[in-house]
Amino acid sequence: AFDYKKLLHDYNREVRRATHNAMASLVTTVG
């Protein structure tokens, strides 16, 4: 019925990208 594995995979990928972007912004802001 519902593909949890695919959903979880997509979610994890989004979280990783968001975290990476946040870290990059932080590094750029700090110096």
Can you spell out the DSSP letters for the chain? ---HHHHHHHHHHHHHHHHHHHHHHHHHHH-
Q: What is the pLDDT of residue 2?
A: 82
- Which pLDDT band, with edges at 50, 70 and 90, does 1 fall under? low
Mean predicted confidence (pLDDT) in 13-23: 98
Q: What is the pLDDT of residue 31?
A: 78
For residues 27 and 23, what is the distance between their CA atoms, to the nearest angstrom? 6
Share of the chain above pLDDT 90, in %: 87
